[in-house]
Amino acid sequence: MKFTDGFWQARPGVTALYAQEAHDIIPDGDTLRVHAPTKVIETRGDTLNRPMLSVSLSSPLDGVIRVRIEHHKGRRPSAGFDLVGATEGVGVAATHEKDGVLESGTLTSGGLTARITPGAPWNLTFESEGRVLTSSGNKSVGYMKLAPDAPVATEPVGEVGVTTSGLAPATSYVHEQLSLGVGELVYGLGERFGALVKNGQTVDIWNADGGTASEQSYKNIPFYLTNRGYGVLVNQSEHVSFEVASESVKRVQFSTAGEALEYFVFQGPTQKDVLERYTALTGRPARVPAWSYGLWLSTSFTTDYDEATVNSFIDGMRERELPLSVFHFDCFWMREFNWTDFEWDARVFPDPEGMLARLHEKELRLSAWINPYIAQRSKLFDEAADAGYLVHRPDGNIWQWDQWQAGMALIDFTNPAATAWFQQKLRVLLAQGIDALKTDFGERIPTDVVWHDGSSPEAMHNWYTQLYNQAVFEVLEEQRGEGDAVLFARSATTGGQRMPIHWGGDNSSSYESMAESLRGGLSLAFSGFGFWSHDIGGFEGKPDPEVFKRWVAFGMLSSHTRLHGSSSYRVPWAFDEEAVEVTRKFSHLKLELMPYLYAVGLEAHERGLPFMRPMQLEFPHDAGCDYLDRQYMIGRDLLVAPVFSADGTVEYYLPAGTWTNYFTGETVQGGGWRSETHSVMSLPLWVRGGAVLATGNRTDRPDYDYLDGLLVTIYPGAGENSTTTRVTSPTTGHEALITVVHGGTTTEVSSAGADIRVRLAGGSAVTTSNEKAVLSHV
């Protein structure tokens, strides 16, 4: 949202009032309070008849500083996000004088200091380790008053506009601008399918059902981080508009309607440190079960299917040695026009409990589709309406429309009784034999409504998905236990990362959509989400066999892997026999890698670091990685470059250091670009120098005892150092700690907790336990 016309002028109809000076700076316990009039105060008369902005600084967590800007405090404040890690009172507020003259006020939290200088011009800096990370300077803190016809924004973005959301234009906004240094790049802001680097973009934080080919997003997160090693979260679930080096090319501007704006600055010094602090405050992903990493196969959306069809798919996978972990029933497990009523369509599935039991006998987990809407034809509509469980319009009528499901209404998750009612329906479904739930939709939430608890309609638009997914995840954890609960969610907001897994939404069957899907996943990884998936082959349309095969390789090397389409099936033999071979090879590869992949997932749970990592996150000091969006790291040690071309050509970048090709064993030195051509049976998969890579001895399932037959391969390029690698068995919970000490010509390896096989890359394996194995490099 833009308020200015170039550097000097406001847009027509905009009255721009800026914090002109820090008039006074007052330490107040663990808070620093600043009063900032919108004019430099030169005489007593200047204090009359003008707005003043109140700015308070405090800290909810070590290394995190909260800034709250308020015009009129009497307005109902935004609830903000659920800050599960907040521990108030950790900041230290102080003022600093020299020769009896006030020099500055500071709020310090851990290694992060916010410093405000008295008087004019307004100057607030955020400092760490002796350097300024970013600052709020002249014309940064602003209160914008708008005439009704003020042209403040570009064209409405989808459901931000009045015609689709009912969101009326506001008459006042608060904005902040934080400086960007030379070469500073901005990442994050949710799952966004455009350029990974956000500089030059206008980003509206407003959840929308827009697919993967537009600037809209299912998962809008008002959090960004930069390559200077700090992050910023705007703590408001309402519509927030970011101008990232756009309205002011040397600043990030963020604004929201109303009388107040609150944001947090997160200390680094690295981007990984930022993500650890951010997820410590907003929550880290739950531990996901090992079985969820295996292949998911779906009925697809509008295809015809019954139990015989389902069995033909499952048996066909087994006959072709294609390991399958989860089978998913999409929307039409329920009768048309009834979504959601939680009842199997008896015309197609006359014995759902028996069918699900028979599928469990095939050692499968089972997933079912749901959404948070109740269609008018569903028998649950009257039940929910009579109980007051549906969202209402201001006139008291139930809000309904005909998009998606005829006459559908929304469950009001701000009503505890409605949430409990919905959760009880889920318990029945799980009791029938469903193991996981695909929580679709949750984006098209209207603003011309009244919520049970009086929540702001504008705030609830983005927050609704959190209440929806939370209600479902609670039941899954209750019924299956912590560490065995899995969603497959499409929409999210800040904090949604606590309830994995998320998938990228409705893509299409092309190389271009495959690439945009990856961009979305990497952007989401920069936004604090640990696990992510996508529809292999694309959702819309039927992919060309070559697109499908390339996408299978990419999908198998994502955190979670699903074959799902819209109007066509995604069983590999629907394409050609080579597609079966590709699926077999890469599914076996993923299961072989499970000891390493499971450890990467545990790191996401414990530290908040993503499973699939943008190159810039793993190599923050390599400028060659800053813009890379067609390759990624799995954890620290595996580099993946999917092939996005029909002829198999791929260009990718290897950072400096030693790299070993996982398939061929070739060792090269990085620090530059490579151009290669790959068959559908291959793609660039490189192991980082010095990696200690644990692999398993099974390729039929992901949930096995990794310590039984564990192979540890030590890759060249470590230099002289020592490392400890942890491998955890998902079936027993036992751990092995493998210690590797690199010398000049030898490497010593010892294992505590299990006997393992160990080898140098390209060499033969030897068995070791607490006895040290000495491996010679010559």
Residues serving a catalytic function are 440, 443, 506
DSSP strands (E only) in 19-140? 24-28, 31-37, 52-61, 64-70, 92-98, 101-109, 112-116, 124-128, 131-136
Give the helix/strand (H/E) hosting 13. Answer: none
365: nearest Cα among 411, 329, 399: 329
- The angle at the Cα of 718, spanning 716 to 721, to the nearest 5 degrees, equals 140
DSSP strands (E only) in 259-395? 260-267, 295-298, 326-329, 365-370, 373-374
Which residues neighbour 297 within 8 Å (Cβ) at sequence distance 6 or greater? 313, 314, 317, 324, 326, 327, 328, 562, 563, 570, 571
642: nearest Cα among 518, 464, 486, 476: 518
486: tokens are 């899995």
Pairing of strands 685-688, 658-661: antiparallel
CA distance 495 to 220: 11
474: nearest Cα among 418, 432, 429, 426: 426
3-state secondary structure of 395: coil
3-state secondary structure of 442: coil
Q: How many residues does the chain have?
A: 778
Q: What is the dihedral of CA 303, 307, 313, 316, to 10 degrees?
A: -150
Give the helix/strand (H/E) hosting 143. Answer: strand 142-146
CA distance 253 to 230: 16
Token pair 């537009």 in the structure block, residue = 214
